[in-house]
């Protein structure tokens, strides 16, 4: 059977499974909608947390950005893995013991202020919408290639599926759907990695195969370094980023991880504090399987791509190349008219998505209208690395279709968690807590579901008009979380002296300066484009790493303001003392 037939079968079966679980586990109360009733087992919660955490950025984007950035891409591995350890050990047990439904709920009660709650809601919406843009883009990329539809159409299909089970089941439906999605995505990630490692090195363990010698007796990393330097690229194992930028990006990813509302909320779904610790341990184990394999896939993919396309006549190029070219995610300029593809350093389309004319070139290639290339150049979208790798390696069609299903599982699992954060922030933290405290449980559940509809429409827009590659878009969300939530949560747990005035001004200042920096240097919404280039970055820090600066600003302002204003009430200080005592906690309740 062909790739498209296999894709319809495997993706169709997985979607039927997700929808069936959503129907089986539909929520009938706000507690089930928000925290799955608080009765999820540690193992199931660990699987669901891993799926929630391993988004399209992990499944599609991370290996792609490592493949194209080499050593510099290691910041994503260090930041995201280290951040999860920080979250599991430093924050999750205490937040579970506090017993609230959402992060804005915790901040509103801990800082005894609806203003603080509102600021936290705004921060949650900023983070969630930025993050979900990457997931929707990932869905569009998968569908555009394997179902032969436009990227935008793929986004619409993903919106419909994720809305169905998020709307119907809330956290209860999302949790058990994510358990299934983890099984799908990890199987889809590991099977081709094992096959390709065997083909390239004879070693079935991808993590070991990456450092082994190939069939020609040359170590794979040495071979890749040689290929890249021969073509004029920087060696794969060398970095180009400054040490300062690497530090700030890593820190932003770590601290942002510890402040992500859609991950934190998962620890409210287990019965006890001890279960929160157990589920964090399980999740870290499940996450490590994918994260230790991603660098190997990156090496295999970059090597296979360079060996396959370099100096290959377009008329002899394999079908996978023209299929991806039809989606607009691969582009080639033939400036010298020799009809051969060259993979050389440069920017054929100035780092932007190619725009094509209706005409075809002399050898049948799609013609780019926005290219400024002066020689033959190749544009490859980083987000197709994992998806195209099995095709480049010549693996069976069912494995290629399986990878497509895995990419969709990764994107949809995280998108569902983010949509829940958005809907609960609106229905619970704004409507219930501030505007209509006497609203019935039934009406609150209806508002939560309507909010899901609003959220998925906005998410779809950002998926169609993303500000960058999946991993880089998601990195911006981590920066926003680091600059807004992390200081407020840490000081809320460990500082009895931190008051509402300090927390509010700190969050506003951290979020504002980070948003400004991203809007100016990443999105180009603010300032003169001529003074908003990489050469103009403050202290040489990229937009992906500036969340660390925002976090420091947040901490400093919050601590200074709190020292010059009244301390929190005694009952709040007592709550802070109690949540740090290592004893059990009951169900999530309203205080």
- Contact, 76 vs 257, CB < 8 A? no
Spatial CB neighbours of 122, under 8 Å, sequence gap ≥ 6: 511
Q: What is the pTM of this model?
A: 0.78
- Contact, 376 vs 342, CB < 8 A? yes
Kindly report the length of the chain: 591
Q: How far is CA 387 from each of CA 175, 381, 442, rounded to the nearest angstrom? A: 26, 11, 43
Q: How far is CA 239 from each of CA 93, 202, 236, 499, rounded to the nearest angstrom? A: 37, 29, 8, 43
Tens-digit pLDDT string for the chain (591 aa): 777 788 888 888 888 887 787 777 665 555 555 554 456 788 888 888 888 777 776 777 778 888 888 888 888 888 878 887 887 777 777 877 777 667 788 888 889 888 888 888 888 887 777 777 777 777 777 777 766 777 778 788 877 777 776 666 556 667 777 888 888 889 888 999 999 998 888 888 888 888 888 777 788 888 888 888 887 788 888 877 888 888 998 998 888 887 777 777 777 777 777 787 788 888 888 888 888 898 898 888 888 888 888 888 888 888 888 888 887 778 888 877 788 888 877 655 445 677 777 788 888 888 887 777 667 778 887 778 788 888 888 888 888 888 888 888 877 777 777 777 777 778 777 787 777 778 877 787 788 778 878 877 877 787 777 655 555 566 677 788 889 888 998 999 888 899 999 999 999 999 899 989 988 888 777 777 777 788 888 988 988 889 999 999 999 999 999 999 999 999 888 888 887 765 544 555 554
Instruction: Report the distance separating Cα 66 and Cα 301, nearest Å.
Output: 10
C-alpha angle 131-135-136 in degrees, rounded to nearest 5: 115
Furthest CA-CA distance within the chain:
79
- Contact, 75 vs 253, CB < 8 A? yes
- Contact, 448 vs 424, CB < 8 A? yes
Q: Which residue is associated with the tokens 């725009």?
A: 355
Q: How far is CA 445 from each of CA 22, 170, 196, 434, rounded to the nearest angstrom? A: 16, 9, 47, 16
Burial of 176 by CB count in 10 Å (0-12 exposed, 13-18 middle, 19+ buried)? buried
Instruction: Report the distance separating Cα 381 and Cα 392, nearest Å.
Output: 15
Spatial CB neighbours of 179, under 8 Å, sequence gap ≥ 6: 44, 47, 48, 51
Instruction: Report the distance separating Cα 398 and Cα 404, nearest Å.
Output: 10
- The pLDDT value recorded for residue 472 is 56
């Amino acid at each position: 059977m062909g790739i498209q037939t296999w894709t319809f079968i495997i993706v169709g079966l997985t979607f039927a499974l997700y929808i069936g679980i959503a129907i089986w586990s539909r929520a009938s109360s706000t507690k089930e909608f928000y925290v799955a009733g608080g009765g999820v087992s540690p193992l199931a919660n660990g699987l669901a947390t891993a799926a929630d955490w391993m988004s399209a950025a992990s499944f599609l984007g991370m290996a792609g950005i490592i493949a194209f950035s080499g050593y510099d891409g290691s910041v994503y591995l260090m930041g995201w893995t280290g951040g999860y350890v920080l979250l599991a050990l430093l924050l999750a047990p205490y937040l579970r013991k506090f017993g609230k439904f959402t992060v804005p709920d915790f901040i509103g009660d801990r800082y005894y202020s609806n203003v603080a709650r509102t600021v936290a809601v705004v921060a949650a919406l900023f983070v969630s919408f930025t993050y979900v843009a990457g997931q929707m883009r990932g869905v569009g990329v998968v569908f555009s290639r394997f179902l032969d539809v436009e990227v935008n159409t793929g986004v619409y299909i993903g919106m419909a599926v994720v809305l169905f089970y998020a709307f119907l089941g809330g956290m209860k439906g999302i949790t058990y759907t994510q358990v299934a999605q983890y099984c799908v995505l990890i199987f889809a990630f590991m099977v081709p990695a094992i096959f390709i490692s065997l083909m390239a090195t004879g070693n079935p363990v991808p993590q070991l195969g990456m450092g082994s010698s190939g069939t020609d007796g040359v170590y794979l990393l040495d071979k890749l370094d040689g290929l890249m330097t021969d073509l004029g690229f920087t060696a794969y194992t060398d970095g180009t980023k400054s040490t300062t930028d690497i530090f700030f990006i890593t820190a932003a990813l770590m601290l942002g991880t510890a402040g992500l509302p859609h991950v934190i909320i998962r620890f409210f779904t287990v019965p006890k504090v001890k279960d929160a610790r157990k589920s964090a341990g399980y999740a870290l184990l499940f996450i490590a399987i994918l994260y230790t394999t991603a660098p190997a896939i990156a090496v295999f993919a970059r090597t296979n791509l360079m060996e396959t396309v370099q100096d290959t006549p377009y008329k002899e190029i394999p079908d996978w190349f023209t299929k991806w070219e039809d989606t607009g995610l691969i582009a080639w300029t033939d400036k010298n008219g020799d009809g051969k593809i060259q993979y050389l350093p440069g920017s054929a389309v100035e780092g932007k998505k190619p725009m094509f004319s209706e005409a075809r070139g002399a050898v049948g290639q799609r013609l780019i209208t926005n290219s400024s290339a002066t020689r033959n150049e190749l544009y490859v979208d980083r987000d197709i690395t994992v998806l195209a790798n099995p095709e480049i390696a010549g693996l069976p069609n069912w494995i290629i279709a399986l990878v497509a299903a895995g990419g969709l599982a990764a994107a949809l699992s995280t998108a569902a968690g983010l949509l829940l954060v958005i809907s609960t922030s609106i229905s619970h933290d704004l409507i219930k807590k501030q505007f209509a405290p006497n609203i019935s449980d039934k009406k609150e559940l209806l508002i939560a579901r309507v909010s899901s509809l609003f959220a998925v429409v906005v998410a779809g827009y950002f998926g169609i008009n993303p500000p960058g590659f999946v991993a880089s878009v998601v990195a911006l969300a981590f920066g926003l979380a680091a600059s807004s939530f992390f200081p407020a949560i840490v000081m809320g747990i460990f500082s009895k002296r931190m008051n509402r005035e300090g927390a509010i001004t700190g969050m506003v200042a951290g979020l504002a300066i980070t948003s400004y920096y991203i809007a100016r240097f990443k999105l180009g919404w603010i300032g003169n484009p001529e003074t908003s280039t990489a050469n103009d970055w403050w202290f040489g820090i990229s937009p992906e790493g500036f969340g660390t600066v925002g976090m420091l600003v947040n901490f400093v302002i919050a601590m200074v303001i709190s020292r010059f204003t009244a301390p929190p009430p005694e009952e709040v200080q007592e709550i802070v003392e109690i949540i740090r005592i290592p004893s059990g906690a009951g169900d999530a309740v309203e205080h």
